Structure 1
Amino acid sequence: MHDPSSRGRSHARSAPWPALSTALLALILALAWSHQALAHAVTAGDQGYIQEISGVNLIPFVYLGAKHMVTGYDHILFLLGVIFFFYQMKHIGIYVTLFAIGHSTTMLLGVYFNVGINSYIIDAIIGLSVVYKALDNLGAYQRWFGFQPNTKAATLIFGFFHGFGLSTKILEYNIAPDGLVPNLLAFNVGVEIGQLLALSAILIVMGFWRRSPSFVRHAYTANVAMMCAGFVLIGYQLTGLAVSS
């Protein structure tokens, strides 16, 4: 099937770097540099709550899952990249579902089977997912290597890594085994609710933006900004890994 994400790339490549796009770049980089954007961080209050409670607590874990997704700028940046050039809801639904399947699978299995990955490494890979998708939107792989990677497979695979990022963080907080499975399922439901909320906001903004002439002019710059944010995430995590070693 023809990849809808290729639509509009040839026009976007020649876009200028106007002041508005520079401001967009600064905003995305600021988000990437904030504490919550740099990892799958859980606030101190939430961390203490997770460590102290036991038994089945469905509503609190739904809330925590939704809060994590809505404030997880690495997730949001990747989702933005995935749907950037999609205009039809069926295409958006397919890719968002693949991402949800990926991160839900590894989050649940990672915590249940106690499979942890170094948080700096997994978060650097998540930053790489943002860079990958921005380069894909810019048509870089076709120009550099003469082929288009399978976008569905890439979305699913990077979804796995996003899920491992979350499971690794949950494991660090020693969630109680009592009520583990129901609480994890509730947390995952919250993550999906948060994802739908974030996606809805993205689609509303993108819908208005696409109706204006500035979309074609600034699409290139927006993806460059996303790529830079991804590199910031990677650099921060690799620096943290080196310092902690």
Structure 2
Amino acid sequence: MPLNDQVILITGAGGGLGGTAAQALARQGARLILLDKSIPKLEKIYDAIVAAGGPEPVLYPFDLAGASEQQYQDLADAVEQRYGTLQGLLHSAAELSAYTPIAVHKTQDWGHTLNVNLNAAFLLCRVLLPVLQKSPNASIVFTSDSGARVPRAYSGAYGVSKIALEGFAKILAEELEASGKIRVNTLVPGPIDSPLHKKVYPGGDKTQLAAMDSLAPVYRYLFDSASLGVTGQIIDAQTFTL
């Protein structure tokens, strides 16, 4: 159990990739704090983890887009009070309603997408860094998209948010590298048979997509001791090998 007693917080934990990560990390003994705005989805992941014999996770219903700065700080305070320290932070929450031309992109959708995909990552890192720094070794992982390096037409706010998120991850990694305590990396899942992919490409050919469970090894790697010293990297799950 390489992650035994490691405390890891996951955003979007009720979603396809977030739920996959939660179950993979729980199988390695991690104690999880699961964030999502959907309580039923959180409860489904909770039940799956407990049924598999994993440590009982903590459910924290939280609206990343609608929460105030004080609510973000309250979350960090609650984590510190309960655990004292934090060893991992996975940003798995993602918002993508549809591919949209910039000319007709709704302002409200633009703002909401940036809030979930980018601003929430910044706010969580800012309030949780003091708790992460109490651990001798901690890992922050962002979830990006292959389109961040080859921006696609119509990807709109989603595409912009992923481009910016990768830049944010690089900046944060450089700022934290000197201390040697917190590594920061970005995961690119690639074409995955996830609910988000089905929503955007409802008629797509799923036979060419990797299963969500195929990401389990890379999630374990990014949070266990095998990735110590690895920071500021973009990890492509489709080419990842241990």
Q: TM-score normalized by structure 2? A: 0.24
Q: Which protein is richer in strand relative to its size?
A: 2
Q: TM-score normalized by structure 1? A: 0.24
